[in-house]
Structure 1
Amino acid sequence: MAFVVKRVHEEPSPEDGFRVLVDRLWPRGVSKQRARVDLWLKDVAPSTDLRNWFHAEPGRFDEFAERYEAELEDNPAVDELREIGAQHPVVTLLYGARAAHDRNHAAVLARFLLPPDRRRG
């Protein structure tokens, strides 16, 4: 199983495998037809409070990542996502932010889903 990260505004491709939107809010400017999302897993996204805290000052990404990982520790949606990963060779985690591929919550989530000995900051 592989979890990859892709912006939902990018063109879908067959290599995406099973496509999961991991945002709490539907991304602006993207129709459901164009997004080709297989599952919208809102509950795995950062809490509204954490998202608002981070958007107020995006320079706090490292602390955001730590806080988000703490939220993920007790989040049952993570188990659902791991089950999906066990059923599909590729799972693409879709996000709507304009942030770089490695500086957004979907990238933090993808790292969190790795076995602990394979995670890197």
Structure 2
Amino acid sequence: MFRIARIYDEPTPDDGYRVLVDRLWPRGVSKERAHLDLWLKEVAPSTELREWFNHEAPRFEEFRARYEAELEQNPAVEQLRAIGREHPVVTVLIGARDTQHNQGVVLVEFLEAPAAG
């Protein structure tokens, strides 16, 4: 099971395996405070896509489509799926303030969707 949390929130015992999925390290968070098991920046949106989206909610559906297209070609997705098979709970950590319009939402939905074909 994948879940999403903000890296700025306190870790909880039920977080399971904690994976940061941002390309940039979040400001003001020390590595100790993050309690990470893995920083998988390779699964984050490309720099170009991240900068275009700029966390603007009206752009979210277009961002989703573009990011899903990137994920289709991204080998790091399989690494994250493998982690999901090894751990009962995987918490995908994001830095975004908006908890509804961010790459974590798209990524978790992508990972949990039935495989095409």
SS in 1 for 2:92: strand
Displacement of 1:90 in angstroms is: 0.1
Q: CA deviation at 1:56?
A: 7.5
Q: Is the 8 A contact 2:57 2:101 kept in 1?
A: no
Match of 1:12 in 2: 11
Number of matched residues? 115
1:108 aligns with 2:109: no
Tell me, in whole angstroms, the C-alpha distance in 1 between the residues paired with 2:55 and 2:91.
Answer: 27
The match for 1:61 is 60
C-alpha RMSD over aligned residues: 1.3
TM-score normalized with structure 1 length: 0.91
1:115 positional shift: 3.0
1:73 corresponds in structure 2 to: 72
What is the identity, as a one-letter code, of the residue corresponding to 2:63? F
Instruction: Check conservation: 2:49, 2:67, Cα contact below 8 A.
Output: yes
The structural deviation recorded for 1:116 is 2.6
| Unmatched segments (≥5 aa) in structure 1 | none
Partners of 1:5 and 1:111 in 2: how far apart?
A: 11
State the percentage of identical aligned residues. 63
